[in-house]
Amino acid sequence: MYMLTDLQIILSVVSGLLVGFSLGLIGGGGSILAIPLLIYFVGFDHPHLVIGTTALAVGINAYLNLIPHTLKKNVNYRVGAIFTIPGIAGVLIGSELGLITPGNDLLFFFGFLMIGIALYMLNRKCVEISATQRTVKRSYPKLISVGLVVGFASGYFGIGGGFLIVPGLLFGGGLNIIQSVGTSLLSVGTFGVVTAARYSLSGDLDLVISGLFIAGGILGGWFGARLASKVPKKRLTQIFAIIVIIVAVYIIYQNYAVVLQF
């Protein structure tokens, strides 16, 4: 168990609040900041511990958000299960590789993943419009293959993967955008919990930090959701994506020297 200082306890809650706020405000992508916040803002210099811990926080938050979507009938559990079950295999493979990858290497590669996610967020509206302008038939091979890929990324980096799951459900599951967002939470939650469980077997999970992060995330999500209807979402998403790119460049800069040493 990681020994927390009083300041780190406060900063952990603040980090969760920031992530929850961004998720509530723009509806996705915010969890990508969880790892850099805990490492560079809170000061946990343990990449594998951070990945396992944030995976649990992301997973539980996704399950909590799954409840209101289920009540609104925005979740297709059959399609979600077809996507999620093969994805679990990807999670297990990814987490095994993640645990044997040096921490600095993980962060270096994670920086490039962040840039990819930011670029997707900048173009996400085009993806959603493309899906709504045509009838998309359900494709089980697409669901299974994308589930495996996203599961691997989730297990390797400890991310939720919603930015990939939503388009996967749009183009492979034959769902509309609202159903895709709701159904994606089933996969995000499951991938996060399974990743955390595997990392916990290696001692790379701190329940206290996860709890603090979740508490802050719930409060931040509430504030973000209230503000979301009052400000232009497109502009907010653009600003957030730029912030993600800046943070990603910083992470790559901080780790490239170690990674490139042979």
Q: pLDDT digits over 71-108, tens only?
A: 888 889 999 999 999 999 999 999 999 999 998 888 89
Closest CA to 37 of 258, 257, 217: 217
Segment 183-200 mean pLDDT = 91
pLDDT of 28: 60
Q: Burial, 228: exposed, middle or buried (Cβ in 10 Å; 0-12, 13-18, 19+)?
A: middle
Measuring CA to CA, how many Å separate 262 from each of 163, 236, 257, 259? 34, 41, 10, 8
Is residue 179's pLDDT more than 70?
A: yes
What's the pTM?
0.83
CA dihedral 62→67→73→78, nearest 10 degrees, is 60
Give the three-class secondary structure for 146.
Answer: helix
pLDDT above 90 (res 226)? no
pLDDT of residue 20: 79
- Cβ atoms within 10 Å of 1's Cβ, excluding its own: 9
Count of other CB atoms within 10 angstroms of residue 261: 7
Residue 158 confidence (pLDDT) above 70: yes
Whether the Cβ atoms of residue 258 and residue 104 lie closer than 8 Å to each other: yes
The first and second tokens of residue 223, run together, are 């504030």
For residue 18, give both structure tokens: 């920031």
The confidence band for 2, taking pLDDT boundaries of 50, 70 and 90, is low
